[in-house]
Amino acid sequence: MKRFIDKVVIVTGAASGIGRATAIKFAQEGAKVVLADLSNLDSVKSEIPNPNSHIYIKCNIGERADVVNLIEITVKTYGRIDCAVNCAGIAGKVSKPVHEYPEEDWLNQIQINLIGTWYCVKFQLEQMMKQGGGNIVCVSSAAGLVGQPENSPYAASKHGVNGLVKSAAIEYATKNIRVNAICPTAVETPMIMHGRRKLAENPEALQQAINFQRMKRMGQPEEVADVALWLCSEQSSFITGHCMAVDGGAFA
């Protein structure tokens, strides 16, 4: 049985990785999906079921006006937002200790990952309050649960996302709005394979990432997407304010 028939779902970061997998899975389960990303969404459009039933919006979540536009177009088109999965985020370009980390890169990660996620949650909540409920899931990171040496801005931003999620969950717990986070470890996405750690080009670093997880393998975007859909479904109706590790047993 499809769980999201005619539900309206926003997915940010929908062009690749976890966001892409999440958008496709929601569409497979009958949702009307609003796919948002700063990158081109054409490749997702070619794969998603019923591509003309969805909306594709260019959006930089770090820009307030872009997020306002995303919400306004969604509500103008569909009249509501039933679920939102905030996947958009960036990783650092370098590995440096705190006192050496480039200021511009540090601030940019905070702007996108934390402030941008706050913009999304803020305006999603405003609409959900008007309509009487909804579900929000933020894709955080294992870096929001533990410190990460030489990756301080990313860890700080993701710890911030988890604090935002917990605070919002408490504030809206009696408003029929649930807010949760997912904290993945090493998932095989373009961000981790070709980003700061370049695991695709560094067999030693790749093996370290694999060994950190008790299952001794990388996670797949679809596995994280399944958790996002579950958290947005009525199957998790008594769960809010949870920052769920999706980690192959790494934190067991």
Which one has a higher pLDDT value, 104 or 214?
A: 104
Q: Is 0.75 surpassed by the pTM of this model?
A: yes
The pLDDT, as a whole number, for residue 152 is 97
- Domain holding 128, by residue range, is 8-246
220 in any annotated domain = yes
Residues taking part in catalysis: 154
Q: What is the CATH number of the domain that holds 35?
A: 3.40.50.720
242 in any annotated domain = yes
151 in any annotated domain = yes
Gap between the Cα atoms of 104 and 248, Å rounded: 33
pLDDT of 17 strictly over 70: yes
1 in any annotated domain = no
Work out how many domains the chain is built from and give that number. 1
Give per-residue pLDDT as tens, 222-248: 999 999 999 999 999 999 999 999 999
Give per-residue pLDDT as tens, 188-197: 877 766 767 7
2 in any annotated domain = no
Give per-residue pLDDT as tens, 152-192: 999 999 999 999 999 999 999 999 999 999 999 888 877 76
92 in any annotated domain = yes
Burial class (CB in 10 A: 0-12, 13-18, 19+), 60: middle
Q: What percentage of the chain reaches a pLDDT higher than 90?
A: 84
> Which residues, 6 or more positions from 18, have their beta carbon under 8 angstroms from its beta carbon?
87, 139, 184, 187, 189, 221, 224, 225, 228
86 in any annotated domain = yes
pLDDT of 57 strictly over 70: yes
239 in any annotated domain = yes
